Amino acid sequence: MYWYAYITKKSEDKFDHTLDSSMDDWIKTVATPGNISIKTSIAWNSGWGDGIWNIDMAPSAYYIHSKGSSKNITSLYYNPESGHIAQYDPSRGLLSCMYSKMTDKYDWNWVYWGSCSDAAIKKENPAYWNVYFVANAGGMITDYKGNVLRVTKEGSNWGVVYTAKPSYLEKDTTHSPTSLFKVDVDLQNWIRYTTSNLGKTDQYCPAGKKENRIYKRIKRELPSDFRLSAAWAQRLYNIARSATFQSANPGAAPQRHGACGVCMLHSYQMIAELLQYHSREPLTSGGYFFDTASNRDPFISFSQRYPELDRLLTNVPLDYANRGRVLAFASTMIMLPQYEWTSSSPITTRSDMLFHIRSLINSPPGSIWLGLMRRRRTDGSTSGHAVPILRTSQGIVVIPTNSPTISFNDYIRSLAPTMDPNEVINRLEAGDEMTELITIQPVRIYDVPFSLTVSTRDCSGDGEDRRGSGKYPTSSLINQCSGGRCILQ
């Protein structure tokens, strides 16, 4: 025999149970969640030649667990507050966490799994892991010291995870290891929500509030008839000149935070403002990420306005990321998580570059890309550079960045649209030789599900469409969910 009770607001319901008036405060209280843990698997891909020749095993995705890797999906739990990656043992009711054993004297070392609780810990802890992800393509995981999580794909320790110093990765090839991992979409969405809260790019505050969910949202994509007006040319010029005069000198040490230099920070601000404010007059002061100012390092303003976002961007593991597109994607997802991004493959030959540029020219007007280049100078040295590339109805515009000493007239001339692919390459090269080109494009708005269900305290942010607290979401600061109480399991 079973008994049950229910509570309803409908007085006509039969067998209704009511709460005493003394329980009003209990009803109105928004409960604080005990912790924030995201259920996920951590997978890596193996193919023929990766130490497996059994036809039943490869190619396939394999899932990390406390004993190694297997084809069976293993549920792990990532707690972004404690940094724990844990496996739950239902027979004992205990968590087993992954710990890094790396010290400065090692180039690499195996991880180990040991008992742990879900209590918050300091970030300087061997059980603390940072997760950086690149949408569905996967991403990277680092320990609290920035060492990179890897997995062997050959040898007697096949499928066992370990950590390695970023500086050791070029030499670490013995067992065909990989550092590219995939996680479940819930964790990807949590990472997007976290970065959008840090950069104040959420749409709702508080989450789930009915009037917020139905208000008319600004259309954040460029219309096909968009052109760079005189006001927009002036705005882009002000952004491009927001760097120190000294940085323009040959041989000057580049200003960068992590993998992001001034040119990439300029590009993010230009793209963000074009997508956000195209239907109105551009800003004349301030800025999306940093305040524009001539002869001033823009990272100063950026770090003052968004300190946690700046810290996260700085900590993207540069040495690892330089091995592929993970760098650009990780940085882009951190800065502009409200968009879905797609990337070209690295392009290294002149003929392929021309072919790719023609595809940009043939794209619909209103398309925009982040262009990333490696360029060789006349002295043989190489450097990276980033610029926005805009397709208008008149042609392709390569928007100069990090140009603190350029005159306004020269800048205006550089914004002239062109339909000539060779001219586009000339503008991208700017007197150097381009050895590699990658373009990354925002293809649509990405509505982060957590933005509709979770809010942090003081999420008013910078105004409409710029909501967020600028801080990491924690269980103690989450105070509003769509249903009233915050249940985040």
Residue 212 pLDDT level (bands cut at 50, 70, 90): very low
Question: Measured between alpha carbons, how far is 434 from 432 in angstroms, rounded to an integer?
Answer: 6
Which percentage of the chain shows pLDDT scores above 90?
A: 52
For the chain, give the percent of residues with pLDDT over 70: 83
Q: How far is CA 486 from the centre of its chain?
A: 25
CA angle 432/434/438 to nearest 5° reads 140
Task: Name the residue type at position 339.
Answer: Y
C-alpha distances out from residue 216 to 212, 256, 339, Å: 9, 38, 18
Mean pLDDT value of segment 66-94? 93
Q: What is the pLDDT of residues 122-168, one digit of tens each?
A: 778 999 999 887 666 678 899 999 899 999 988 899 999 999 998 89
Would you state the pLDDT for residue 487? 46
CA distance 59 to 357: 34
Could you tell me which residue, 317 or 188, shows the higher pLDDT?
188
CA 157/CA 69 separation, integer angstroms = 10
Average pLDDT value over all residues in the chain: 85
- Determine the longest span between alpha carbons in the chain, in angstroms: 87
Give the residue, 108 or 176, on which the prediction is more confident. Answer: 108
Q: Does the pLDDT value for residue 216 go beyond 60? A: no
Q: Under a CB-based contact definition with an 8 Å cutoff, are residues 350 and 247 in contact?
A: no
Query: What is residue 210's predicted lDDT score, i.e. its pLDDT?
Result: 46
Residues 18-71: pLDDT tens digits? 667 777 776 666 566 667 889 999 999 886 544 555 545 556 899 999 999 999
Give the model's pLDDT for residue 57: 53
Supply the pLDDT for residue 468: 87
Phi, psi of 328 (to 5 degrees): -65, -40
pLDDT at 113: 97
Please give the Cα distance from 370 to 267 (Å, whole number): 7
Q: Are 414 and 400 within 8 A, CB to CB?
A: yes
Going by pLDDT thresholds of 50, 70 and 90, the confidence category of residue 296 is very high
DSSP state of 316: S
What 3-state DSSP class applies to 382? strand
Using 50, 70 and 90 to split pLDDT, how confident is the model at 352?
very high
Range in 179-188, 224-233, 468-477 the model is least confident about = 468-477
Dihedral sign for Cα atoms in the order 423, 270, 369, 247:
positive
d(CA 275, CA 223) in angstroms, rounded, equals 10
Q: Do domains 38-183 and 230-445 have the same CATH topology?
A: no
What's the confidence (pLDDT) of residue 46? 81
Inform me whether the pLDDT recorded for 229 exceeds 70. yes
Tens digit of each residue's pLDDT (9 = 90 or more) over 269-284: 999 999 999 989 999 9
Q: Where are the domains of the chain?
A: 38-183, 230-445
Full strand arrangement of the beta sheet holding 42-46: 68-70, 60-65, 42-46, 182-183
Identify the H or E element spanning 423: helix 421-429
Give the list of residues 6+ apart from residue 282 with CB closer than 8 angstroms, or none.
231, 232, 234, 235, 273
In CATH, the architecture of 230-445 is: Alpha-Beta Complex (3.90)
Q: What is the pLDDT of residue 58?
A: 54
Q: Average pLDDT for residues 398-409, to the nearest whole number?
A: 96
Q: Which CATH architecture has domain 38-183?
A: Trefoil (2.80)
Above 50 in pLDDT, residue 213?
no
Provide the token pair at 412: 């205006």
C-alpha span between 386 and 389 (Å, rounded): 10
pLDDT in tens, 448-461: 888 877 877 777 77
Give the pLDDT confidence of 190-209 residue by residue, as tens digits.
Answer: 999 999 999 998 877 777 65
Q: Round the CA-based radius of gyration of the chain to a whole number and report it.
A: 25
Q: What is the DSSP letter of 33?
A: P
